[in-house]
Amino acid sequence: MNAHFRLRIVTPTKIYEKNIKAVRLKDESGFFGIMNGHTDFLTALEPSLCYYLDEHDRETFLAIDGGIARVRGGLVTITSRDVFESDDAGELSEIIEKTMVKRDASESSFFGMIKGIEESFVEKTIEFLRGMPRE
């Protein structure tokens, strides 16, 4: 029996696959492992630091920003907003930190824009209502 199976990682910006021997993930019940021949299932992933063993038994860390894991027909699919990957935990930590700083700045800017749109809408609504004749 072949000890390898496929791991597919799907994010909004990329999709890639690789042959692996095992993967360790985390859902609300805790950490769990998947190896070749695992039964089909679907679970919601928690944001966590996980890992997989590639076909040469090298350990690679995955920082997963929550998401969904599906095992079906010998393929494990991880779908997440972000998945960061490195064989060096220190390097992975730096990647996560840089990405989170960028994300925070981007989300702050976005929420500021939404606040401005909401304020403008309220102002226009008040102007409109003041201009309406009273019955």
pLDDT, tens digit (0-9, with 9 covering 90-100), for 87-97: 887 788 777 77
Q: Are residues 94 and 42 part of one domain?
A: no
Give the range among 15-29, 50-64, 96-110 with minimum mean pLDDT.
96-110
Same domain, 66 and 107: no
Domain assignment present for residue 11? The answer is: yes
> What is this structure's pTM?
0.71
Range of the domain at 123: 89-130
How far, CA to CA in Å, does 108 sit from each of 47, 66, 94, 115, 130? 21, 21, 21, 10, 33
| pLDDT reading at 121 higher than 90 | no
Q: How many domains does the chain have?
A: 2
Q: Is the pLDDT of residue 103 over 70?
A: no
If asked whether residues 73 and 107 sit together in one domain, one would say no
Same domain, 35 and 63: yes
pLDDT of residue 89: 77
135 assigned to some structural domain: no
> Is pLDDT of 112 > 60?
yes
Q: Tell me if 10 is assigned to some domain.
A: yes
Asked if the model's pLDDT at residue 20 lies above 90, the reply is yes
The answer to the question of residue 81 being in a domain is yes
User: Do 29 and 59 lie in a common domain?
Assistant: yes
Same domain, 60 and 97: no
The span from the CA of 69 to the CA of 112, in Å, is: 33
Q: Per the domain annotation, does 58 fall within a domain? A: yes
Pair (51, 74) in one structural domain: yes
In a domain, 67, yes or no: yes
By CB neighbour count within 10 A (0-12 exposed, 13-18 middle, 19+ buried), where does 14 fall?
A: exposed
Q: 78 vs 109, which has greater pLDDT? A: 78
Q: Which residue has the higher pLDDT, 20 or 88?
A: 20
**Across 9-18, 74-83, 104-113, least confident range:** 104-113
